A = this chain, B = another copy of it.
Amino acid sequence: MRNTERVQGLASVDNALRILLMFQQTPELRVTDVARRLGVSRSTAHRLLTTLCGRGLAVQDGRTRAYVPGRTLVDLAHALSRRPDLLGLLRPHLVELCARLGETISAQVFQGPDVVFVDGVEAERVLKAGLRTGAKMPAYAVSGGKAYLAELNTAEVRALYPRGLVKLTSHTPGDFEALEQELAQVRARGYAVNLEGTETGLHAVGAAVHDHAGRAIAALAVSAPAQRLGPERRHEVGASLIQAARSVEAELGSLQ
């Protein structure tokens, strides 16, 4: 495995999933192209493709020998799109916010001490924050996570990190005192900010989304190059995120 692409979990499985995702941009895939893009041998690429064919997720065109998406893949998608869910509710808001604010926007959900990036829409500028969909990070290092932690009391926050905090950059809060100061500011402002907490040069603003019982269940976050997210802009973005969160919550409420 000489591939330098980030691998999450099982490498063989990850490569097969990447082939599926290639179908979004490339309707027809060739063994040689797949091998090159994955950084694997042709025989490996062939094995992966034939495995996908075995479950009807891909099919080979007998004339051109290229591989195209199989019906089972589309059927799966149709079955899923019939189920409204939180992610489905969030999506149009992500799109609208990205268009209005001109910055990359992401949706995050909480998993114990971490947040997971579950969706996002990328800004269309050349210099922009990229998407982290699928990534998991400590909540205290991410704006959406801070918005969540601000709704817990001190003991609850400490219980999430029994071994203390680990700084990702020099700006990440490194102990509970620093984190509590930040969370107090989040509570006062209504939105959270993250100034180079996960990556140098990157700023972010986040606001929590609540369920009908008032518990934070997700967060909306805008991330951008630091020079584009000064104090005034952050306040403007924060207000937009809070407004969007309230809209999502209203839609969630109407589903109960």
Contact = CB atoms under 8 A, between A and B. Distances in A.
A14 B109 CA distance: 28
A57 interface: yes
A17 B56 CA distance: 10
Q: How many copies does the complex hold?
A: 2
Contacts of A34: none
Interface stretch (A61-69, A196-204, A234-242): A61-69
Given A59-B116, A73-B77, A118-B59, A8 B51 contact: yes
A16 B57 CA distance: 12
A53 B111 CA distance: 13
In this complex, the interface size class of chain A, counting residues with CB under 8 Å from chain B, is 35 or more
A12 to B, nearest CB: 5
- Give the most central of A18, A61, A77, A85: most B CB within 10 Å: A77
A71 B51 contact: no
Interface of A: 7-10, 12-14, 16-18, 20-21, 23-24, 27, 47-48, 50-57, 59-63, 68-81, 83, 85, 87-88, 91, 109-112, 116, 118-119, 133-134, 136, 217
Contacts of A80: 23-24, 69, 73-74, 77
Contacts of A72: 21, 133-134
